[in-house]
Amino acid sequence: MKERRLKLIPMQFSASKQPYWRWVFLLVFPLLLSSSFSDPRISNAGLLCGHSRPPNGTNLIPNFSEAMRGLSQAINNSHFASYHLNSTSPMYVLAQCHQDLSQTDCLLCYAAARTTLPRCLPSVSGRIFLDGCFLRYDNYSFYQESVSSSLDNVSCSPDEATVFDGDSKRVNLIGRSVDYAVGNMTRIALRNGGFGTVGMNGVYALAQCWKSVPAEGCRECLEKAAKAVRGCVPKEEGRGMNTGCYLRYSTNKFYSKEGEAKHDHEIAIIVAIVSSIAAFLMVSLSAAYATYARLSKRKEELKNLGQISKSFDKSGLKFKYETLEKATDYFSFSRKLGQGGTGSVFMGILPNGKTVAVKRLIYNTRQWVDDFFNEVNLISRIQHKNLVKLLGCSIEGPESLLVYEYVPNKSLDQFIFDEKKTNLVKWKQRFDIIVGTAEGLAHLHGGGSHVRLIHRDIKSSNVLLDENLNPKIADFGLVRCLATDKSHLSTGVAGTLGYMAPEYLVRGQLTEKADVYSFGVLALEIVCGKRNTTFTKDSGSLLQTVWALYRSNRLAEAVDYSIKDDTSAKEAPDVLQIGLLCTQASVSLRPSMAQVVQMLTDKDCEIPSPNQPPFLNASVLDPTSSTRSNSTDSFTTNAVRKIQDSGTSSEPSRTLSSDEASRSQ
Ligand SMILES: *[C@@H]1O[C@H](CO)[C@@H](O)[C@H](O)[C@H]1NC(C)=O
Ligand SMILES: *[C@@H]1O[C@H](CO)[C@@H](O)[C@H](O)[C@H]1NC(C)=O
Ligand SMILES: *[C@@H]1O[C@H](CO)[C@@H](O)[C@H](O)[C@H]1NC(C)=O
Ligand SMILES: *[C@@H]1O[C@H](CO)[C@@H](O)[C@H](O)[C@H]1NC(C)=O
Ligand SMILES: *[C@@H]1O[C@H](CO)[C@@H](O)[C@H](O)[C@H]1NC(C)=O
Ligand SMILES: *[C@@H]1O[C@H](CO)[C@@H](O)[C@H](O)[C@H]1NC(C)=O
Ligand SMILES: *[C@@H]1O[C@H](CO)[C@@H](O)[C@H](O)[C@H]1NC(C)=O
């Protein structure tokens, strides 16, 4: 994550009036820091899904998302977390990051694992091994398990280590080094709370037992893994992925520095004393050099920036960082409007008196300035009364900012789910909000403009209301840019559980119909005045409730209590029926947004009957059936096949790349 290092440079020089040693420390500090920000190691997933399914009619998704929510909170400030739900279909989850990852990298790795694991649903169990972390769910308490005769696995890299080329002595030497390294691993890890690293003769190894596995289990697990990965020699890498631990060797150094320092304190101390002076000199020199190199790189970047900015200046989309800083009262907390997945939003008042919303992105966009400008340029040209307008951006300051039109009345969720305010939103207004949102989305999907965008995160908090309660969809676009940046993963799933279409949630398959699904959920929420995410014990999700009422011809009962007496609410059941149409499990059965707009606005338009329960069941998730139902859409099929082919070694970023593919069509 080079952008973080870049960000540190201005700090160093503002502090350069400090005494000399401090200055040196500030030079060295980013180097140390950069090693801990090294790499969340989200690659090389081993995804293992269990074969047993829950009893017919059980939907595991609410329990799964509930358990993941609990886990996310617990992993926040630790490298290990477990969580369980005690219900008729219990759910136990465990997450473990490797000890050498920084907390930030741990969260990134967890987010990546969390995005991929739902592909195991509706199996009752699944586990995923990434190179930096592990995540598992099951329907029983497995926390102390260490080995399994059927599920433990080993994976060897396809390539032989290059050093082996034609030199049989060297093969033996490296083979022996692997033996020694992994042979010593168990001892090192057990002495060090279940984590250890070794590097000898060009072979590096790392072992991690899950914190909940007792020492004896850890020993057994690592010994089994060590034996298994020895079978990988002379491949350049081997990974043992067992129920209670992970062990990897490689001829490339893959773990971060602190990890190595931990295991052999004795040696580390001696080495430190003997070479401290030399090291100090070396570090100072290399730090100075690195800083010099980075400064020249930054100069280069600024030059590039200058060229791009020139054409950008003319477009009127460029804002000065200082202007926006002042406009938001230096990002004062009192100006904060909200926090989204990609950054926090502040209210700003420009020097000309105009009020805007300024979004402070959580990542830096310098790495892909070109893409960013192009995307901003593209998005800013999308104009529709129901879409929040992007006014421009700032990229030259220490962080990247986006400037949006300011929408005064906060977001829809704060109206329809807040009992004090629901009375303010009568049926007529709710209906207009639904129609406006549908029109905005239809426009995004390509109606009336040459740009075709998938929003991916339609939900009540992304629909803003202006002073006349007109809806405006926020937070669209810029997705392709963001997807190229790894840190985008920190937002976890791009989308919100409860609103996410099943095919997108489970397989990362993304089309406009995923937005249609989310819109359907939103429409049901607006009419019923209830959140879909609240799973109550007896009634199931809002979708299930409405579906059940529809089946028994009692749709009117689902309508929000506070608008029931509203005599104009005759269309409410029709809107519910449209919502059900949009949330059908099969992608091809859902209408397009243009059709939805027509059904909503044209009184003579016949609304078809939804004919599929709007929630997941095993048959919909069955790859063969879904491929069949999508065969009209060759892109979708390809994306699905790609994901399925990737099988156990699928990368979490697949979700994002399938999106890119669809966007670039
Ligand atoms: C876990 O799920 C399987 C398959 O549905 C079932 O046979 C088993 O009894 C479940 N275990 C527990 C503890 O619920
Ligand atoms: C569950 O449903 C599938 C098909 O829908 C059926 O083949 C199977 O027999 C059912 N299993 C049970 C236990 O009812
Ligand atoms: C995670 O921890 C940070 C600080 O430790 C805190 O500010 C934040 O609210 C926590 N987030 C969650 C979801 O618990
Ligand atoms: C789960 O609930 C059952 C029945 O309510 C109870 O017997 C059991 O002890 C609970 N288990 C845990 C781990 O809380
Ligand atoms: C290990 O994983 C590979 C690839 O997924 C699979 O083909 C193999 O059967 C697995 N081995 C065991 C022992 O489960
Ligand atoms: C541990 O490493 C040493 C060499 O550093 C080697 O002599 C010894 O045999 C190794 N132990 C095991 C159990 O492989
Ligand atoms: C988990 O699923 C079971 C059965 O589907 C349900 O009864 C229970 O309420 C769910 N628990 C949660 C917390 O959603």
Whether residues 538 and 389 share a domain: the answer is no
The domain containing residue 565 runs over which residues? Answer: 413-664
Assigned domain for 380 exists: yes
pLDDT in tens, 575-592: 999 999 999 888 899 999
**Poorest-confidence range of 73-77, 438-442, 485-489?**
485-489
Whether residues 632 and 561 share a domain: the answer is yes
Q: What pLDDT is recorded for position 652?
A: 29
Whether 339 lines ligand 3, by a CB cut-off of 6 Å, is: no
Instruction: Provide the mean pLDDT of the chain.
Output: 74
Radius of gyration of the chain (CA): 27
Whether residues 533 and 650 share a domain: the answer is yes
Residue 603 three-state SS: coil
Q: Which residue has the higher pLDDT, 419 or 529?
A: 529
Q: Which residue has the higher pLDDT, 457 or 217?
A: 217
pLDDT at 276 over 60: no
Whether residues 460 and 563 share a domain: the answer is yes
**2 neighbors 367 (Cβ within 8 angstroms):** yes
CB atoms near residue 322 (< 10 Å): 11
Residue that terminates a domain, selected from 261, 282, 301:
261
pLDDT at 81 over 50: yes
List the beta strands (DSSP E) in 276-422: 336-340, 343-349, 355-361, 390-394, 401-405
Region label for 273, one of left (φ > 0), alpha (ψ between -120 and 50) or beta (otherwise):
alpha
Assigned domain for 632 exists: yes
Whether residues 487 and 571 share a domain: the answer is yes
In sequence order, which ranges of 96-135 are alpha helices (DSSP H)? 103-116
Whether residues 436 and 378 share a domain: the answer is no
pLDDT bracket for residue 540 (50, 70, 90): low
Question: How many whole angstroms from 153 Cα to the centroid of ligand 5?
Answer: 6
- Model's pTM, two decimal places? 0.53
CATH number of the domain encompassing residue 574: 1.10.510.10
Q: How far is CA 423 from CA 65, 414, 417, 431, 565, in A?
A: 31, 12, 11, 14, 12
Report the C-alpha gap between 262 and 334 in whole angstroms: 44
Q: What pLDDT is recorded for position 141?
A: 94
pLDDT in tens, 625-649: 333 333 222 222 222 222 232 222 2
Pocket of ligand 1 (CB under 6 A): 52, 54-55, 90, 124, 139-140
Q: How far is CA 572 from CA 364, 562, 579, 580, in A?
A: 45, 13, 11, 13
Assigned domain for 75 exists: yes
pLDDT at 60 over 70: yes
Whether residues 355 and 468 share a domain: the answer is no
pLDDT at 556 over 80: yes
Of 430, 276, 295, 403, nearest to 349 by C-alpha is 403
Whether residues 573 and 480 share a domain: the answer is yes
Q: Which two tokens stand for residue 100?
A: 């050498």
Assigned domain for 585 exists: yes
Pairing of strands 46-49, 126-129: antiparallel
Which residues neighbour 413 within 8 Å (Cβ) at sequence distance 6 or greater? 459, 460, 461, 531
pLDDT at 175 over 50: yes
Question: How many whole angstroms from 75 Cα to the centroid of ligand 3?
Answer: 10
pLDDT bracket for residue 291 (50, 70, 90): low
Assigned domain for 575 exists: yes
pLDDT bracket for residue 233 (50, 70, 90): confident
pLDDT at 367 over 60: no
Residue nearest atom 8 of ligand 6, based on CA coordinates: 180
Q: Which two tokens stand for residue 71?
A: 């886990």
Assigned domain for 63 exists: yes
**14 neighbors 371 (Cβ within 8 angstroms):** no
Average pLDDT over residues 262-287: 43
Residue that terminates a domain, selected from 387, 405, 423:
405
pLDDT bracket for residue 114 (50, 70, 90): confident
**385 neighbors 438 (Cβ within 8 angstroms):** no
Q: What pLDDT is recorded for position 202?
A: 82
Q: What one-character-per-residue DSSP string does 557-571 give?
A: GGS-GGGTT-TTGGG
CATH number of the domain encompassing residue 380: 3.30.200.20
Of 206, 211, 195, 212, nearest to 229 by C-alpha is 206
Please name the amino acid found at residue 531: R
pLDDT bracket for residue 160 (50, 70, 90): confident
pLDDT at 293 over 90: no
Whether residues 463 and 547 share a domain: the answer is yes
Closest listed ligand to the CA of 182: 6
CATH number of the domain encompassing residue 86: 3.30.430.20
Closest listed ligand to the CA of 107: 3
**Most trustworthy range by pLDDT among 59-63, 229-233, 290-294, 368-372:** 229-233
**Poorest-confidence range of 41-45, 129-133, 384-388?**
41-45
Average pLDDT over residues 177-201: 90
Q: Which residue has the higher pLDDT, 18 or 49?
A: 49
Whether residues 207 and 108 share a domain: the answer is no
Average pLDDT over residues 545-556: 88
Average pLDDT over residues 23-28: 34
Assigned domain for 27 exists: no
Residue nearest atom 10 of ligand 7, based on CA coordinates: 63
pLDDT bracket for residue 363 (50, 70, 90): low
Q: Which residue has the higher pLDDT, 488 or 123?
A: 123
Whether residues 58 and 196 share a domain: the answer is no
Region label for 300, one of left (φ > 0), alpha (ψ between -120 and 50) or beta (otherwise):
alpha
Q: How far is CA 623 from CA 70, 137, 503, 506, 628, in A?
A: 29, 21, 10, 11, 9
Question: How many whole angstroms from 499 Cα to the centroid of ligand 2?
Answer: 28
Q: What is the set of active-site residues?
A: 457
Whether residues 602 and 464 share a domain: the answer is yes
Average pLDDT over residues 431-436: 95
Report the C-alpha gap between 175 and 547 in whole angstroms: 62
Question: How many whole angstroms from 227 Cα to the centroid of ligand 5?
Answer: 16
Please count the structural domains in the chain. Answer: 4
Annotated ligand binding at 359? The verdict is yes
Residue 475 φ/ψ, nearest 5 degrees:
70, 40
Assigned domain for 214 exists: yes
Residue that terminates a domain, selected from 405, 428, 461:
405
Q: Which residue has the higher pLDDT, 285 or 489?
A: 285
Query: In this prediction, what percent of the chain has a pLDDT beyond 90?
Result: 29
pLDDT in tens, 244-265: 999 999 988 888 765 443 334 4
Q: What pLDDT is recorded for position 589?
A: 92
Whether 73 lines ligand 3, by a CB cut-off of 6 Å, is: yes
